[in-house]
Copies of this chain bind each other. A is one copy, B any other.
Amino acid sequence: MIRFESDYLEGALPEVMAALESSNFEQTPGYGEDRFCAEAAAMIREKCAAPEAAVHFLVGGTQANFTVIAAALRPHQAVIAADAGHISVHETGSVEATGHKVIALPTPDGKLRAGQIAGCVAEHWADSTHEHQPQPAMVYISQPTEGGLIYSLAELEEISAVCRENSLLLFVDGARLGVSLVCPGADVGLPDLARLADVFYIGGTKLGALFGEAVVITHEALKRDFRYIMKQRGGMLAKGRLLGVQFGALMADGLYERTARREVELAWKLRRAFEAKGWPLLCDSPTNQQFPIVPDEALEKLAEKYSFSEWGRVDAGHRAVRFCTSWATGESDVDELIADIEKL
């Protein structure tokens, strides 16, 4: 079985493993108060052109999402997300488990628009009984989205402006952030995120680390006591250095971007094969996730040798599926898949 169903099916980049190996016997204090974390945080601050940012390392995405949200909101406040957003549908109600409602706004493609955020907030305050509803206080978006789309700089500027006008914090889930930095059409860089968002994270799990998400906080009030909340929510790793070591490796010598670029290139190679085969794409994703709409018989045939994710039935004879490349995807595996597609 050659697996393409997601980008967390293997271990870590050789450079990451090497860094773990080479630091393995060094003694450091626990809980992220070690030199590796300090160094990786400094590298991230520099890449983000955000010398005042707080950088914290968490283990996973769901954890990062609810920890940030719990740290940011008062009990009656809610977070706005797209209906297809990860916190809306794929985290077992983890945000609600911290006491907060996720206000899921409908979107055709998983991307929130500045206008609909403004509308949602305006509607809240216009209601004479707004105290009987959760108060929108944060906006959560993913870059790229669950469906592989990216926000342009113009879109992000607009969303950020709406958030600031309405006292909403802007939180960007960057579980796959790397690919959004390098894919065709990308025009949002780390400094833009640091400038436009109040908090975001740079995903490691899905970009070549064993695990780890680097949370970057630029909003002053949100920095306060963040480590308490990390600890309380189970996100403070005893051997916190493991996160620093991995992010240190990823951030050095452009490894993070290089890895993302390779993932994207292989994904586009697949995309071109889908298009050549006449399989339409569910959405125009420029990232390492591609969503062709494929005849059922073709999928059955492919499934004998390859794994992919089901994304939903499109019509009686066709389903949309996800093919995903990772840091570990072999070019020869991609070529084999393409050859098999051509043969279908």
Contacts and interface: CB of A to CB of B under 8 A. Distances in A.
A222 B129 CA distance: 20
Interface string A196-231: 000000000110001100000000000001011101
Nearest to A62: B234
Contact of A229 (B2, B75, B234): B75
Chain B CB count within 10 A is highest, among A14, A229, A239, for: A239
A98 interface: yes
A128 B310 CA distance: 10
Contacts of A31: 131
A29 interface: yes
A341 interface: no
A189 interface: no
B10 A234 contact: no
B92 A211 contact: no
A89 B133 contact: yes
A99 B97 contact: yes
Interface stretch (A17-25, A39-47, A282-290): A17-25
Contacts of A304: none
A206 B27 CA distance: 14
A21 B10 CA distance: 11
A234 B74 contact: no
A211 B239 contact: yes
Contact of A231 (B11, B14, B102, B131): B131
Contacts of A62: 231, 234, 236
Contact of A133 (B27, B90, B134, B233): B90
Contacts of A237: 59-60, 211
Interface stretch (A63-71, A143-151, A180-188, A252-260): A63-71
A100 interface: yes
Nearest to A24: B11
A231 B100 CA distance: 14
Interface of A: 1-3, 5-6, 8-12, 14, 17, 20-21, 23-31, 59-63, 66-67, 70-71, 74-76, 78, 89-94, 96-102, 128-129, 131-135, 205-206, 210-211, 225, 227-229, 231-239, 242, 310, 328
Given A62-B231, A94-B231, A96-B96, 15 more contacts: A2-B27, A11-B242, A17-B21, A25-B328, A59-B234, A62-B236, A66-B234, A71-B75, A74-B225, A76-B92, A76-B93, A76-B229, A94-B232, A131-B225, A210-B242
12 contacts: A9-B30, A11-B23, A14-B24, A59-B237, A76-B93, A76-B231, A89-B133, A91-B232, A93-B99, A93-B232, A97-B99, A98-B99
